[in-house]
A and B are shown apart, each in its own frame.
Chain A
Amino acid sequence: MTELIDFLIVSVALVAVGIYGIVVKRNAIRMLISIEIIVNAANLVVVAFSRSTGNVQGQVFALFSIAIAAAEVAVGLGLVIVAYRLYKEIDVAEFRSMRG
């Protein structure tokens, strides 16, 4: 039988992997992937606590969080495409100026 702590430990592992990706990777798309991993770890914790306490608000909050993350990734990928068009590069270290 799985317990609450098991889900929390999986979530901690996912957060650590996501933070590793944000710190190490310099590719804009990979950094977006890392952010998605962290958001999913947070959703897992929210739903696990919702199941543990038996209330419905945790699941509703997880649904809102998933929708917001989808909106965020749409805008993020639009920005990646604009940056690629300007610099012919999606390495964030190459984005040296914010001029249009």
Chain B
Amino acid sequence: MVDPVFVGLAVLTVGSAIIALETRELIYGAIGLAISMLGIAGFFLILDAPFVAMFQIAVYVGAVAVLLIFTVMLVRTQALFTTKEDKGRKAGGIVLMLFIMGGLGALLLASGLNSSNSFAAPPVNFMKIGQEMLTYYAPVLIVLGLVLAGSVIAALALARREDIVTEQEEGQQQE
């Protein structure tokens, strides 16, 4: 009954999300996250949202994953390879995970949402997204651009080193 493509994507997404958290080397974790995000983009394609899928690939796989990999390279140290977590916390985390999965899953299955033919409505034309964004949501789009610019400037300001003095400045100081 369930689509095999869907099952494959689900296994890929959840599996690589677990791999992203459980691999010993952090850089494989970043790659696992990128593969998981690609799986989510595949779900968006199944849901007839190609524009959101393209945005997801561009932003998450193209920007966020690369940013993570660069950060892992910048902080590359021996401390990254030693996992400092006690067994009790890990067992507690697994119990919490299964509890959330069981609880929310049972809630969903009991909610009556599992009626057949739930995607009967026609798919959204992605030209409509552009129209909405440039008319009704135009102020939000402008604010979003400002937020992105502000966050990039903030990240640059945070990562800036003040203790490095360039040779030219040193020469000026000596004069």
Contacts and interface: CB of A to CB of B under 8 A. Distances in A.
Interface of A: 1-10, 12-21, 23-27, 29-30, 32-34, 36-37, 40, 43-44, 47-48, 50-57, 59-60, 62-64, 66-75, 77-82, 84-85, 88-91, 93
28 contacts: A2-B3, A6-B10, A8-B113, A10-B13, A10-B14, A12-B105, A13-B10, A15-B100, A16-B104, A24-B92, A29-B26, A33-B68, A34-B21, A47-B49, A52-B118, A54-B123, A60-B137, A63-B52, A67-B148, A68-B144, A70-B63, A71-B147, A71-B150, A71-B151, A75-B154, A75-B158, A77-B67, A88-B79
B142 interface: no
Interface string B27-46: 00110010011001001101
Interface of B: 1-3, 6, 10, 13-14, 17-18, 20-21, 26, 29-30, 33, 36-37, 40, 43-44, 46-49, 51-52, 55-56, 59-60, 63-64, 67-68, 71-72, 74-75, 77, 79-80, 84-85, 89-90, 92-94, 96-98, 100-101, 104-105, 108-109, 113-119, 121-124, 126, 128-129, 132-133, 137, 140, 144, 147-148, 150-152, 154-159, 161
B129 A56 contact: yes
Contacts, number: 237
Contact of B43 (A10, A12, A16): A10
